[in-house]
Amino acid sequence: MKRAFLAITAAALACAAAGAPAQPYPAKPVRVIVGFPPSSAADITARVVGQRLGAALGHPIVVENRPGAGSNIAADLSAKAAPDGYTLFTATVANAINATLYPRLPFDFARDFAPVALAAATPNVLVVHPSVPARSVEELIALAKRRPRQLTYASAGVGTVLHMSAELFKAMAGVDMVHVPFQGSPPAVTSVMAGEVMLMFAPSSTVIPHVASGRLRALAVTTSSRLASLPDLPTVAAAGLAGFETVLWMGFVAPAKTPEPIVARLNAEVGKALALPEVRQNFAAQGIETLGGTPADFAAYIREDIARWAKVIRSSGARAE
């Protein structure tokens, strides 16, 4: 009798659970994993957008920095998270580069993530320590040719756009410089300011204050047009390397198989956050451009960028060190 009663009770509870409405999303904080340290462009994007996203969702956005391996550690962790909308990854151009640069990654960037929204982009700036005897791109190229493998350049890690910008520069200019990778752009910039490393391609959002203070000398910007916050700075293409162009983009992705309604909700809220005047002003002051678009737009952008960087990597001979 007791067994029968327990069986009936269990069945009733199961039916009740099955018939209960699903808890509306979101019901708890959302984690945003960043593959670079605090104060990096990816971190700035996650925190500025995350603050507004959390307010819209009614639950906090918790930013978790997991730097290392050109953001591959963070990407792998994110790809393997539950596809329930409670884990997002701040993807960057580094992930498009790594798709070719690292032949045996434990995840597939194009396959294992559901694009949510392309959020922002920032040009890179070629900067040198003030002691470097070069005040233009032409002078830097001439110096590097006179001193093969004597000039050192810092980056935010192997496979980052900062690393690959320098590799593209080396290939197009016909020079050889020594790579010194760091875990993120802030420590790399610090090393150049200290004179420990001679130069680097750095996110404008990270170096603009140091260029203004004279702790770094800016030679050129990597985009096809000049930077509003540094209007006197020429582009690398105009300064001697026609066709040179790189940009650091940031966007939000979720683990593959995250339900489409959740992806759509997140996309809409990120879009609203990016449209806020205070967000645009915050980003513009740091040389960051707000973007946006649909998940499908972002998916197409990722595919195109993977293909573009695959060509650069193969032609330059760059490889994971």
* Model confidence pLDDT, tens digit, residues 73-116: 999 999 999 999 999 999 999 999 999 999 899 999 999 999 99
pTM: 0.80
The CATH number for 39's domain is 3.40.190.150
Burial 93-110 (b: 16+ CB within 10 A, else e): bbbbbbbbbbeebebebe
Give pLDDT tens digits for 23-40.
789 999 999 999 999 988
Answer yes or no: is pLDDT of 3 > 60. no
Q: How far is CA 118 from CA 24, 45, 141, 258, 284, in A?
A: 25, 11, 34, 17, 16
Tens-place pLDDT, residues 218-241: 999 998 888 877 889 999 999 989
Q: Are residues 114 and 181 in the same domain?
A: no
- Helix (H) / strand (E) element for 112: namely none
Most confident of 35-49, 137-151, 170-184: 137-151
Which pLDDT does position 321 carry in this prediction?
62
Which residues on adjacent β-strands are paired with residue 30? 61
Q: What CATH number is given to the structural domain containing 161?
A: 3.40.190.10
Name the pLDDT band for 190 (thresholds 50, 70, 90). very high
* Residue 264, domain member (yes or no): yes
How many domains are there within the chain?
2
On whether both 294 and 150 belong to a single domain, the answer is no
Residue 230 lies in a domain: no
Residues 58 and 86 in one domain: yes
Confidence tier at 12 by pLDDT (50, 70, 90): very low
- Examine the domain organization and report whether 127 and 116 are in the same domain: no
What range defines the domain where residue 155 resides? 123-221
What local confidence, expressed as pLDDT, does residue 215 receive?
Answer: 97
